[in-house]
Each structure stands twice: as structure tokens, then as C-alpha cells.
């Protein structure tokens, strides 16, 4: 549990190493296969932003494991000219986004709210794309700070 809250490897080796360690642990303990494709982004995000991205990815992966009944979860981290893009995609059941988000407050779950609020802390934008029977993709775009 402490690893997920603030892994030491994030502090010492950066976001990609923390994701690699988390995925290795997940593949040992969960039947869903986790896959990572990651550009090195540590030079482009400060430690606080890396922590926010890590938390959002962990929340999205946890949601996919808990709700999607997926066989695979892909975590992608891409460095683009103006932003770092983090994606979590699953091949699970998918869902009706409008139906779920319209009744979100009454469900007593704060996962999506927490992810959106955390994204705002780093001026990021979080988007959700899902359809019944077609899986889900959660995308986070965090702008790069130009010096």
C-alpha cells in the first residue's frame, strides 16, 4: 500500500522506473496482464508532476482491474513537443460514459473526481473514452513547461 501512495523508486529513479516496478508487481499478483510502453519523460516533468501522473495511472489501472474484466491493460507514456501524454487502455467490457458520469455523485465513488482534480494540479487535461464491449481509454495530457 505504501508503494502505491508514494513509491521510493519514484523519488529516486523517476516515473518510468516507478511504473515498471508497479507493473511487475501487478503482473505477479493479478490475472490481468499489464503492458508498459514508455518514453523517458523525467527530464520534462518535475517530481511533483511525475507523482501526479503516477497516481492517476495507478487509479486508472485499479479501476480497469476492478470493473472492466479485462485481459490486458496497456499503460503508455509518450513525450510530445508540448506535452507528456499518459494513456491507460484496457480490452475489457467498456461502459456508457454518459450514463456513468451523469450519476457519478450518487455512486459514492470518487476515483474519477480525484483523477480530474489531480490533473488540474499540473494544468493537465483528463479524458475518458469508452463504449460497451470495446474497452476504455483514459488519457492524461500534461503540458510541458518551457524554460
Find, among 30, 28, 138, 29, the residue nearest to 89 by Cα.
138
Helix or strand or coil: residue 88?
A: strand
**CATH fold for domain 2-143:** Heat Shock Protein 90 (3.30.565)
User: Which pTM value belongs to this model?
Assistant: 0.89
Q: Give the pLDDT of the chain (147 residues) as one tens digit per residue.
A: 444 456 789 989 999 999 999 999 988 998 899 999 999 999 999 999 999 999 999 999 999 999 999 999 999 999 999 999 999 999 999 988 877 666 655 555 567 888 999 999 999 999 999 999 999 999 999 999 765
Q: What residue segments make up the domains of the chain, in order of their start?
A: 2-143
| Residue environment code for 92-120, b if the CB has 16+ CB neighbours within 10 A, otherwise e | bbbbeeeeeeeeeeeeeeeebeebbebbe
Amino acid at each position: 500500500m505504501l508503494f502505491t501512495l508514494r513509491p521510493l523508486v519514484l523519488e529516486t529513479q523517476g516515473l518510468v522506473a516507478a511504473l515498471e516496478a508497479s507493473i511487475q508487481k501487478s503482473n505477479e499478483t493479478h490475472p490481468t496482464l499489464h503492458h508498459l510502453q514508455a518514453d523517458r519523460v523525467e527530464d520534462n516533468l518535475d517530481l511533483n508532476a511525475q507523482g501526479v501522473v503516477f497516481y492517476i495511472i495507478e487509479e486508472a489501472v485499479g479501476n480497469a482491474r476492478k470493473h472492466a474484466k479485462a485481459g490486458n491493460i496497456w499503460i503508455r507514456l509518450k513525450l510530445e513537443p508540448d506535452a507528456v501524454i499518459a494513456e491507460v487502455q484496457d480490452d475489457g467490457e467498456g461502459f456508457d460514459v454518459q450514463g456513468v458520469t451523469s450519476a457519478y455523485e450518487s455512486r459514492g465513488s470518487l476515483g474519477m473526481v480525484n483523477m480530474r482534480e489531480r490533473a488540474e494540479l499540473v494544468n493537465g487535461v483528463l479524458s475518458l473514452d469508452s463504449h460497451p464491449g470495446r474497452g476504455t481509454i483514459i488519457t492524461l495530457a500534461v503540458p510541458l513547461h518551457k524554460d
